[in-house]
Amino acid sequence: MQQYDSQKNPPSIKKQCYGITGNTEIWEYILDSGCNMEVRIITYGGTIISIKVPDRDGNIADVVLGFDNLQDYVSMNNDPHFGSLIGRYANRISNGIFELNGNVYCLDINDPPNTLHGGNEGFGTQIWTVDKADSNENSASLVLSYLSPAGAGWTGETINPSWRPGYLYGFPGNLSTTVTYTLTNENQLIIDYKATTDAPTVLNLTNHTYWNLAGEGSGTILDHVLTINARQFTPVNPVMIPTGAIDSVVGTPFDFQEPKAAGQDIRTHNIQLVYARGYDQNWVLPEAADPEEVLLAATLHDPTSGRLLEVFTSQPAIQFYTGNSLNGSYYGPSNREYRQSDGLAFETQHYPNSPNQPNFPSTQLNPGETFNSRTIFKLSATE
């Protein structure tokens, strides 16, 4: 078992070949905080494939779920989105259509009857360009970019029954996206998102890392202690689309304002938990005075190991997901099967289906504007 090194070193970054898909070499970048935290990211999907941190006794473990080889990421078409970047539109768009400036756009139906995480060829299936990889005395950084062409989100691989003559295919506009991963010497993983477009479009960007602070392959996360800094959430219909309501969490299984086990109420008879087969809802975060201000959204603590995760974001919402689609058919580096609730995701985001919900915060991006957001995952261990 890897042990804690009490000596602090400067942050560093190095790269190595992770594999080849088609004729393209995929690179793995290894970011080291110099303080016993290591993050591994590959250029396929901008995917976080490993995060290693110590527990309270100095034992180091990988605390995220994922595959141990490139072929699994590629052959699964990035499903179930282990550690990947998500875009153009994270979460669901109802019936795979939306209207923008008088035009109706039609998308892939990859989560019937909806579009999920950008369609069949979302950001998690793309090969990202490395613009920069460097380190200094405080941090190590990796800058990735991807140009998503107009019409992305429509492959024609699935039939969209909502299509009508005159509808357009795919997301409008050429979208230029830059994602910067920064690992600091204070064991903070900072993800900065930046995007511009040459035509009005919609977007919702996030990262889909699955966490298990007891260690990858160690079993359920339902005993992890969770806090979500939110008084409201957006309930969904039977096909996981928000109804448009914004409800109070008080008196419901969705109230995590005070720390409680993630699974304490997961078997409660509540129709929202039935629809999702667990937690997979969007929590509304407090509104910041500055739209780019980063606020604490959630904390997660594993009592056994002492590991603590704090999630900060400038985004207006967070999706808490208990890995409900994990069914034993996926295996990670531990060679143990992943089952439901063996990992959880914190997807910092705008509200799902916002393009079709005028009362939700807008996700429209216009030429001349720049989308910016920041999410921070801070790792530590309690006594």
Name the residues annotated as catalytic.
208, 347
Contact indicator for 202, 89 with CB cutoff of 8 Å: yes
φ/ψ bin of 124: left (φ > 0), alpha (ψ from -120 to 50), beta (otherwise): alpha
DSSP 182-211: EEETTSEEEEEEEEEESS-EE-B-EE--EE
Tokens of 338: 């992943």
Tokens of 62: 């990988």
The dihedral of CA 63, 323, 242, 73: what is its sign? positive
226-260: string of b/e by CB count within 10 Å (b at 16+)? bbbbbebbbbbeeebbbeeeeeebeeebbbbeeee
Contact indicator for 182, 143 with CB cutoff of 8 Å: no
Could you give the CA distance from residue 224 to residue 189 in angstroms, rounded to a whole number? 20
DSSP 262-331: TTTTTTS--HHHHHHTS-EEEEEPPPPSSTT--EEEEEEE-TTT-EEEEEEESSSEEEEE--TT-EEEEE
CA atoms within 13 A on the CB side of 74: 15
Contact indicator for 44, 32 with CB cutoff of 8 Å: no
Could you give the CA distance from residue 193 to residue 179 in angstroms, rounded to a whole number? 5
Could you give the CA distance from residue 267 to residue 318 in angstroms, rounded to a whole number? 22
CA atoms within 13 A on the CB side of 158: 22
Could you give the CA distance from residue 364 to residue 233 in angstroms, rounded to a whole number? 22
